Amino acid sequence: MQSTDRPQRWRRPPAYLCHFMVLILSLTAVGCAHRAAPLTWVDWPRYGAAQPGLDLHGHTNALPDFVGPIDGSARLTIFTEGNHFPVLLPLALQAFPAWSDQHCGLAVAPQDLLIVTLPQVMVVEALLSGNIALGNALLPLQPGRVYPDLVMGGDRPLSRLASQGLIEPTAVVFARHRGMGLLLRRDRAGELSSLADLPAAPLSVVVATPNEAGARRQYRQTLEQLLGAAAVERIFAREIQTFPGRLKIQHRDVPYALLTGQAEVGLLFGHLADFYARAFPAQLQFVPVEEAAPFGQTINLARSRGNSEPLARCFEDFLLATARSYYPQRGFAAADTFGYGQRLQLLDAGG
């Protein structure tokens, strides 16, 4: 007896069901598109005048801390600790030329300036050793060629340079940062809304390396004072210490680790965390830590030893005239809360 069962033939779904499936797939795709996918490389914000010629831009854009000519032609060279570069560079490159012309009678263009914004430990090391290795290239640091007219940093690093006779023994205070903030991957925003959430949040952490001992020590001391030693140990137990592309430059490493998916939250000075969140709004979020403000430190300016160049003196006058209002507008401490314009004796600063 033959079976009366017939093979089931495939039937096209009703049109309304097809439309519903397409809608679901479309909404899923949109939802995925709104998630901040990790970047494969980081196109850092660029500064300085655009120049004609070959531009090796892309994966090679890994040296963003040198702005300006490195052939010795710069008329004013500044070496500075890099953590205030988002404030200093627009001020120097956009506002200083007009101010110099008006107040000093000196014509200067942005392309006449070289500004090196490395961590201050690297600035000190470079000046003491007399060169900077850029991969296989070597940049000698010699007075009259590539050499700073002005050096910016904390009192202890500057005092070390002064003790070696590389800069003048006095410096002037022009800014104070407001301590630590948090930089968070936006796809983890629901897990961290304040510093108090950090010890228990299941988030991998990136922070300055031991090579940047000053910043790393400041972050730990801030956390210990605000959260306690046990909480600090829980936070640092989740630290991502090494990853491909790490430069040992915290103002590059921390956002890079988050943007490329290698860490989820970073400890960084608050003004920097805010800057990167604004620069990469789809991927990063700034979490302020207002209670860290008392742990902020000053940034000071010193001339290189024996430097009497009119343009260097003009820039010092310009900085003192403008930083009083410009830096606080960008997350730094108000000028009346620290010794703005005070002269420091570097050889007494305990370097």
Roughly what angle, to the nearest 10 degrees, separates helices 229-236 and 213-227? Answer: 130
The residues with which 316 forms a beta bridge, in sequence order, are none
Residue 258, token pair as written in the block: 């988050």
N-terminal to C-terminal alpha carbon distance within the chain: 103
Alpha-carbon dihedral sign for residues 75, 78, 82, 86: negative
Provide the 3-class DSSP secondary structure of residue 240: coil
What pLDDT, in 10s, does the model give residues 110-165? 999 999 999 999 999 999 999 998 878 889 999 988 999 999 999 999 999 999 99
Residue 56 has pLDDT above 80, yes or no: no
What pTM, to 2 d.p., does this model score? 0.84
Q: Within the chain, where are the H helices? A: 15-34, 85-90, 96-99, 120-129, 155-163, 213-227, 229-236, 250-259, 270-279, 310-326
What pLDDT, in 10s, does the model give residues 100-112? 999 999 999 999 9
Q: Which of 59, 337, 295 lies closest to 175, judged by CA?
A: 337
Looking at the domain covering 66-177+297-348, what would its CATH class be? Answer: alpha beta
Average pLDDT, stretch 21-31? 38
How many Å is the Cα radius of gyration of the chain?
25
Q: Are strands 170-176 and 298-303 parallel, antiparallel or unpaired?
A: antiparallel
Q: Which long-range contacts (CB under 8 A, 24 or more apart) does 57-64 make?
A: 62/245, 62/247, 63/134, 64/252
Residue 188 has pLDDT above 60, yes or no: yes
The CATH homologous superfamily of the domain defined by 180-294: Periplasmic binding protein-like II (3.40.190.10)
Residue 84, token pair as written in the block: 């205030």
What pLDDT, in 10s, does the model give residues 311-341? 999 999 999 999 999 999 999 999 999 999 9
| pLDDT tier for residue 37 given thresholds of 50, 70 and 90 | low
Give pLDDT, residue 46. Answer: 74
For every residue of 72-118, DSSP letters joined together read S--SEEEEE-GGGHHHHHHIIIIIHHHHIIIII-----GGGEEEE--
Average pLDDT, stretch 5-21? 45
The residues with which 300 forms a beta bridge, in sequence order, are 153, 173
Average pLDDT, stretch 222-239? 98
Q: Which of 116, 109, 106, 108 lies closest to 78, judged by CA?
A: 116
Residue intervals of the chain classified under CATH 3.40.190.10 are 66-177+297-348, 180-294
